[in-house]
Structure 1
Amino acid sequence: MSNNEIADQITSIYGFKVSPSVISNCIQTVQDEMRDWHERPLENNYPIIMIDGKVFKIKTEEGGRSKYVNKTLYVVVGINADGQKELIALYVSNTESATEW
């Protein structure tokens, strides 16, 4: 979705206007935060690590045409020595396979 389309959806759902530049700034902030989170050092050792993937159909634009493609969201959870679960990573891949783990 374009920033204009997102702004229109927010207006439609919530009844107030948001400019496309606000949407752009929000997206940039989230992307910066996600990059920092992905690059953080891990503070624990994890005797157990669980990885799972969920496939989603994502709408993309190619050559002026819309199409849906499968993307896999991977979630990596570690269990520390105290038995507490911690989210270690989230990442998106084009496929769901063991080679992506």
Structure 2
Amino acid sequence: MGLITWRSTLYGTEISRDLISTITDAVLEEVSEWRNRPLDKIYPIVFIDGFVSKCRLDGAVNNRTVYVIYGINLEGKKDVLGLYLGEHEGSKFWLQVLTELKNRGLEDVFILCADGLKGLSEAVESAFPKALFQTCIVHMCVCY
């Protein structure tokens, strides 16, 4: 059986699957700690969005949505609050994510900026009833 490698044409480097697995295993604990860390109580502005990426799961390559949440803290600095993987973007999954953020200590959001996904504003209102829901200006534009 031949050695399967990943080759970067940009850098001219080859990396074996074993090395990738070793690196991944070495950082998994730190990733878990980061993902479950306590959050600030207040993020005045929070941005949420999802994008589709190809992922290898159970030996097959499938499209999955990567949910991205970042906030601006009281000092004005950006903070990635979480990254989540789901089958497809939906307001029910977003509600689960927002609830997890609350469970990690986030108590209040002043403005939550997102796309116009159906049911999302209701999910935000359920998790953070005082938050103003703002449709992202990029998502408001219609380009022809």
Describe the superposition over 1:59-94 as per-residue Cα deviations: whole angstroms up to 9, x where unpaired: 4456xxx5x422001110111123322111111111
Count of aligned pairs between the two proteins: 90
* Change in CA separation of 1:71 and 1:14 when aligned onto 2, cut-off 3 Å: same
Among 44, 48, 73, the residue aligned to 1:47 = 44
Counterpart of 1:89 in structure 2: which amino acid? G
What are the equivalent positions in structure 2 for 1:16-95 lying under 5 Å apart? 18=16, 20=18, 22-60=19-57, 66=60, 68-95=61-88
- Which residue in the other structure is 2:111 paired with? none
TM-score of the pair, normalised by structure 1: 0.69
Contact persistence 2:55–2:64 (CA under 8 A): yes
What is the RMSD computed on CA atoms of the aligned residues?
Answer: 2.7
Describe the superposition over 1:38-62 as per-residue Cα deviations: whole angstroms up to 9, x where unpaired: 1111135212211110011334456
Counterpart of 2:34 in structure 1: which amino acid? W
Structure 2: stretches of 5+ with no match in the other structure: 95-144
Structure 1: stretches of 5+ with no match in the other structure: none
Moved over 6 A (4+): none
Partner SS for 1:47: strand
Describe the superposition over 1:2-52 as per-residue Cα deviations: whole angstroms up to 9, x where unpaired: xx53xx12488415x6572x3322111222221110111113521221111
* Change in CA separation of 1:49 and 1:59 when aligned onto 2, cut-off 3 Å: same
Q: Distance in 2 between matches of 1:19 and 1:58?
A: 15
Contact persistence 1:44–1:80 (CA under 8 A): no
* Change in CA separation of 1:98 and 1:19 when aligned onto 2, cut-off 3 Å: closer
Identity across matched positions, percent: 32
Contact persistence 2:6–2:16 (CA under 8 A): no
* Change in CA separation of 1:69 and 1:27 when aligned onto 2, cut-off 3 Å: same
